[in-house]
Structure 1
Amino acid sequence: PLEWSEELAAFADEWARALAPRGLDLRHRPNNPYGENLFALTGRRASPAEVVDAWGSEERLYDPEENDWWPEAGHFSQLVWRSSRRLGCAVARAGDTEAWVCNYDPRGNWRGERPY
Structure 2
Amino acid sequence: MSRRRHENFRELLSKREGFTVSQVSFQNEVLEAHNYYRDLHCAPPLQLDNKLSRSAQIFAEELASKNQFYHSNTKGVGENLYMASGSNVDSLTGKLSSNQQISSSFSYANIAGDAPVTDWYNEIEQYDFDYPGFSGATGHFTQVVWKNSKNLGVGIAYTSEGDSVYVVAQYTPPGNYQDQFPDNVFPEGQC
Instruction: Give TM-score scaled by structure 2 length.
Output: 0.57
Q: Which residue of 2 aligns with 1:105?
A: 172
| Larger strand share, 1 or 2 | 1
Count of aligned pairs: 115
SS at match of 2:179: coil
Determine whether 1:77 maps to 2:121.
no
More deviation in 38-47 or 76-85? Answer: 38-47
- Measured in 1, the distance between the counterparts of 2:152 and 2:74 equals 18
- Given that 2:84 and 2:166 are in contact with CA atoms closer than 8 Å, whether structure 1 keeps it comes out as yes
**Partner of residue 54 from structure 2, selected from 7, 10, 32:** 10
- Given that 2:82 and 2:167 are in contact with CA atoms closer than 8 Å, whether structure 1 keeps it comes out as yes
SS at match of 1:91: strand
Task: Report the residue type matching 2:123 in the other structure.
Answer: E
Alignment deviations for residues 30-81 of structure 1 (CA, whole Å, 9 cap, x no partner):
1432000000011216221111110000011110101144111000000000
| Greater RCO (Cα-Cα under 8 Å, separation 6 or more) | 1
TM-fit CA distance, 1:112: 2.5
- Structure with higher Rg: it is 2
Q: Which residue of 2 aligns with 1:28?
A: 71
**Partner of residue 114 from structure 2, selected from 49, 52, 61:** 49
- Measured in 1, the distance between the counterparts of 2:47 and 2:166 equals 22
- Measured in 1, the distance between the counterparts of 2:66 and 2:124 equals 28
**Gaps (5+ residues) in structure 1?**
none
SS at match of 1:72: coil
Mark the CA change 1:7 to 1:31 in structure 2 (over 3 Å): closer, same or farther.
Answer: closer
For the aligned residue pairs, the C-alpha RMSD in angstroms reads 1.3
Task: Report the residue type matching 1:42 in the other structure.
Answer: S
Identity over the aligned pairs, expressed in percent?
30
| Larger helix share, 1 or 2 | 2
Task: Report the residue type matching 2:118 in the other structure.
Answer: D
